[in-house]
Amino acid sequence: MQRKEINFFKFLFIVSALWNLVGAIFGYFNTAYTFQGFFGRELTDPLFFTIYQGAWGTTLVYIIGYAIVAYNPVRHTGIVIVGGIGKVAFAISLFKLYLSGIASSVVFVVIIGDFVFAVLFLYYFIRIHKTGEGIV
């Protein structure tokens, strides 16, 4: 893989980390507000609060993973596999919640953003494969 392309992927994973950071700041550190925005209801149950905040805590961990990939995109493909699966699964879950009337249209910011990243991650894997680099 050429230096220009490696730099593009480094930039992609830095942006991925920042995307997750923005979400995690709202979701983890202002949990009730984020829940209210996504679902249009108060988050008053302490168990639900902890579970929802914990889900955003996972997003905080993804920041570290994408930063590691940004350091060496050719070497850390496994992290991208896990991150990509997480992005697609979370986007699908939010979409299902929207279709069932549980989530508000605000979730489309996350759905669209995560699907864009998933497509870019797919492009990353295509390029890794075509250049003969090993995946995982």
What are the tokens at 32? 């009730």
Domain that holds residue 58: 3-130
In a domain, 136, yes or no: no
75 within domain boundaries: yes
Residue 101 lies inside a defined structural domain of this protein: yes
Is residue 70 within 8 Å of 17, Cβ to Cβ?
Answer: yes
Q: Domain count of the chain?
A: 1
Q: Does 16 map to a domain?
A: yes
- pTM for the whole thing? 0.89
- 2-50 residue pLDDT tens: 899 999 999 999 999 999 999 999 999 999 999 999 999 999 999 999 9
